[in-house]
Amino acid sequence: MEILKIFVFDFLGSAPILVGLMALLGLILQKKRPEKIISGTLKTIVGFLIFGGGAGMAVASLASFQTLFSEGFGLKGVLPLAEAITALAQTKFASVVSLVMVVGFICNLLVARFTKFKYIFLTGQHNLYLAALLTVVLKALNFGNTTVVIMGGIILGFAAALYPALAQPWMRKVTGNDEIAMGHYVTIAYALSGWLGSKVGNPDESTEKLKLPGWLSIFKDYIVSVSISIIIFFYIAAFMAGKVKVEQLSGGVSWLVFPLFQSLTFTAALYIIITGVRMFLGEIVPAFVGISEKLIPNAKPALDCPVVFPYAPTATVVGFISAYIGGLLCMFILAALHMTVIIPVAIPYFFIGATAGVFGNATGGWKGAIAGGFVTGILIAIGPALLYPVMEVIGLSGTTFPETDFVALGLVIYYLGKMFGR
């Protein structure tokens, strides 16, 4: 079990190591010189770690915002966080979750090798979350451990290859090529955002090309636009929470200064994310040629959602704000309907909403970014509310999965099982 845990959590569950190993394999298969193999592998891992460091900074800043927002507006309800529900699942079914992930990764490679779906899912932590979801749902249907591992692994392997394919037509619009895929299990929402953008807007009116009059032209710089937007959000939350709550959270820093620094920290984090993404993409894409040529013809790496941020940085903040507004609207509607109230957690809403904004922008410009983000915000509020009763069946409460792909897969499996008498 100790060896299994090391393999799953330190290799398959660690995205930088997993991506680095793929780069290493690709460079070796291309028979590159030793210095190039070492350089390419290290730059891939370091680039991913830079991106991960930026993501960590963004998460910390958004967590502060979430605390102030929840305190200020008195929000109580379910917090949809894949990390939290996975941690709960691992306390109950640690070995099963690990085995589902291992079998799933092997199955993903086999599906990519022998079918037309040539996507290798390299966002290790998201495969871990999916393994946890499948374990919980299949356990809720009273399947035994062996059945859960086999069924869950096979389903995960196919999902890892099929879901990126769903978003790929729109991913090509975003990147302008077919070299990388989306390795983030919200592809239903991202594909919908891309489709919706094409119906409501014009890609020529991109958020990155907006012609703003006079002093408003400073918003064309995404550093400025992100900073000002997030500063407004933070100060609203801070004023609602009040001086005492803010300074408790800030560790004594003035309640008027703390929101400013947190906002600017978030902007810096976004810049670091984009820098890291550019660095590791510059290495992983050429390295993947070796895998594609030798082992899995035409293979494409499916990578985490921030890989699209550099293509439309302004659209990321537009998508986030639109998604968050959609989530807040759903929160009040769910409360009025006496359903499970899903609190829009800033962390997933940023990463998911920002990505949806980029997809919508690629096909519909700024209108597509707004529409895609807003609809995605609604989906990741309603979906968790529908899935939450399944989590409660197995004794997990207080949190659930926000990702659309998890929700769709979980609900289909669970209710099909119930239909057949499980």
| pLDDT tens-digit series, residues 65-100 | 888 888 888 877 788 888 888 888 877 887 888 889
Full residue range of the structural domain in which residue 26 is found: 1-420
Q: What is the pLDDT of residues 358-393, one digit of tens each?
A: 999 999 999 999 999 999 999 999 999 999 988 888
> pLDDT tens digit string along 241-295?
999 999 999 988 999 999 999 999 999 998 998 898 888 888 888 888 788 878 8
Q: Which percentage of the chain shows pLDDT scores above 90? A: 54
Instruction: Using the CB atoms, write b or e for 229-264: b if 16+ within 10 Å.
Output: bbbebbebbbebbeeebbeebbeeeebeebbbebbb
Structure tokens at 304: 């985490």
As a whole-number percent, the residues of the chain with pLDDT over 70 amount to 95
pLDDT at residue 160 greater than cutoff 90: yes
All residues at 6 or more sequence positions from 32 whose CB lies less than 8 Å from its CB, including other chains? 40
Mean pLDDT across 332-347: 87
pLDDT, position 220: 67
The CA dihedral of 221, 226, 232, 237, to the nearest 10 degrees, is: -170
- The more confidently predicted of residues 16 and 146 is 146
Q: pTM value?
A: 0.87
Residue of 62, 79, 99, 43 whose CA lies nearest to 285 = 43
pLDDT reported for residue 9: 66
Confirm if 196 and 375 have CB atoms less than 8 A apart.
Answer: yes
Share the mean pLDDT of the chain: 89
pLDDT digits 0-9 by tens, 21-65? 888 988 998 889 999 999 999 998 898 889 888 888 988 888 888
pLDDT at 291: 85
Bridge pairing between strands 79-80 and 119-121: unpaired
The yes-or-no verdict on residue 13 having pLDDT over 70 is no
Residue that has been written with the tokens 């099982």 in this structure:
417
pLDDT recorded at residue 354: 95
Model pLDDT, residue 361: 97
Total domain count, the chain: 1
Whole-angstrom distance, CA of residue 143 vs CA of residue 99: 15
Can you read off the two tokens belonging to residue 321? 């704000």
Of 269, 312, 281, 4, give the one whose Cα is nearest residue 122: 281
Are the CB atoms for 345 and 66 separated by under 8 Å?
A: yes
